[in-house]
Structure 1
Amino acid sequence: MSTNALRPARELLLKEYRGVLSTHSKSMPGFPFGSVVPYCLDAEGHPLILISRIAQHTHNLLKDPKCSLLVGEREAEDVQAVGRLTLMAEARKLTDEAAIDAAAARYYRYFPESANYHKAHDFDFWVLQPVRHRYIGGFGAIHWLDQVTLANPFAGKAEASMIEHMNSDHANAIAHYVELSGLPRSAPAEMVGIDSEGMHLRIGQGVYWLAFPEPCNTPTQVREALVLLARADQWPVAVNVEG
């Protein structure tokens, strides 16, 4: 297993927010069934999805929870020359009310339009618990990886508080992050997530992840990183710390 591939594999999972979920077909035994799903990462760093009870992939998962999620770099001109990650997992439906509430709070920040949709339909939150990963970083860069994900040390009240503060009091700083990093400026950006390695911004219907210059393990370190970026005249190169 190559440790050099851990960081880019995890960053790909963070940077993207949709992938192809492949399940074992219930109606066509022996055939894989692929469907597109949006996702964000939960407190443990595992993909969190919201799927309808009447959807085919839900019926498939109820019969066999083994699945995979294929994630590739968006808008790539040559899909075989860029990174892609296949996450093999066991899907687990959330049934505990506290876990569902935490999942909803997180998921609806990333995909606010899903809140009303969820109320009008029978949807459930599922977590994809990774078993193994296959990461391809381009031609010839092929790796099997067992442990890619990292738990989010801020998930919950700490993260929600930091996000609310930034969106309420520092919209100019967020706009500066967008300008520095070259993200689209088609709509005002809103911060929706913070993890130890970076932050997620929502711009229109798109979600984008920006890496911190170096990992942050405390809210104080996050604040220092955000202040540094607000004053920077170019986006710093992230320090490659494996984990």
Structure 2
Amino acid sequence: MANNETSAAQARDFYAHRHQGILSTMSLAMPGYPFGSVATFAPDRDNRPLILISAIAEHTRNIKADARVSLTLTEGGNDSQAEARLTIIGDASRVPDSEIDEAAARYYRRFPHATDYHRAHDFSFYRIQALRGRYIGGFGRIHWVEGAALNAPNPFSEQDEAGMIDHMNRDHADAMLAYCRLFDIDVGAQTPRLSAIDGEGFDLMLGHRVARIAFDSPVQTPTDVRKAMVALVQRARSATSR
């Protein structure tokens, strides 16, 4: 894999493990200065950050006046300078009415506590179209990644993805626990819940935490997903028996 492709894959993987970051907008109250606020997000079908924000929030007013934003993601450890981070630079826009149902389904699968905020409260869905990303994977590993490389489309339809998620959550809680054991993911008192599947992996929610599990190789069909997940269960059982 070429260096730029490797950097893009690493940046996507880092992004896939995160669920919140610092959203920076162009301030109306302090013209010319950036304004930072904490924002949670879920990836949309093209892997673009999907955010749910209030009409009265400072960042929402800023976005309506100037769409230019950045979203900075960090590992959240004790030494931020030594750890990986990613800043996505792009334009934020409100999700069209025709796409709100799909956006809501994806967002609320990750954040069920916020279900129907866009109906019961004055919240709206926005998404960020990445132009470029600045990925720092550690000392000396600093790369610009083009937006098209960050925005990897999901190969599954919304219906296929939702069906796979529902099936796993309804019938295979034991398999999801096995995945967590295999990758040393601490579940605590939480029951893992599948929230998203794409061509490179899937997301398990542990309360408000996201546990990202990558497939060994990219998948393109629901059959591919089934085979990949069965293989992971077999690996987990083999590791347990040893």
Q: Do they fold alike, i.e. is TM over 0.5? A: yes
For residues 29 and 96 of structure 2, the distance between their equivalents in structure 1, rounded to whole angstroms, comes to 26
TM-score (norm 2): 0.92
CA distance in 2 between counterparts of 1:95 and 1:15 reads 27
Q: Say which structure is richer in helix.
A: 2
Alignment of 1:99-118 (within 5 A): 99-118=99-118
Q: 1:219, CA displacement in angstroms?
A: 0.8
SS in 1 for 2:103: helix
User: Which residue in the other structure is 2:169 paired with?
Assistant: 167
**Distance of aligned partners of 1:235 and 1:26 in 2 relative to their CA distance in 1, 3 Å threshold:** farther
Q: Which is worse superposed, 118-127 or 83-92? A: 118-127
Matched position secondary structure for 1:100: helix
Letter of the aligned partner of 1:87 in structure 2? I
Q: Is the 8 A contact 1:181 1:235 kept in 2?
A: no
Count of matched residue positions in the alignment of Structure 1 and Structure 2: 234
Structure-2 separation of matches of 1:3 and 1:143? 11
The equivalent residue for 1:90 is 91
Query: What corresponds to 2:158 in structure 1?
Result: 156
For residue 233 of structure 1, what is the aligned residue in structure 2?
236
- Quote the Cα distance in structure 1 between the aligned partners of 2:25 and 2:178: 41
Output aligned runs, 1:1-243, within 5 Å: 2-74=4-76, 76-96=77-97, 98-146=98-146, 147-186=149-188, 187-233=190-236
Higher relative contact order (CA 8 A, sep 6+): 1
Note the alpha carbon deviations across 1:92-112, whole angstroms, 9 max, x for none.
Answer: 10132x300000011000000
Coordinate RMSD, CA, aligned: 1.6
Gaps of at least 5 residues in structure 1 are 237-243
The CA deviation string for residues 166-189 of structure 1, in whole angstroms up to 9 with x for no partner, is: 111111101111111111222110
Letter in 1 for 2:176: I
Q: Which runs of 5+ in 2 are unaligned?
A: none
Percent identity between the aligned chains? 44
2:181–2:236 CA contact under 8 A, matched in 1? no
Amino acid at match of 2:88: L
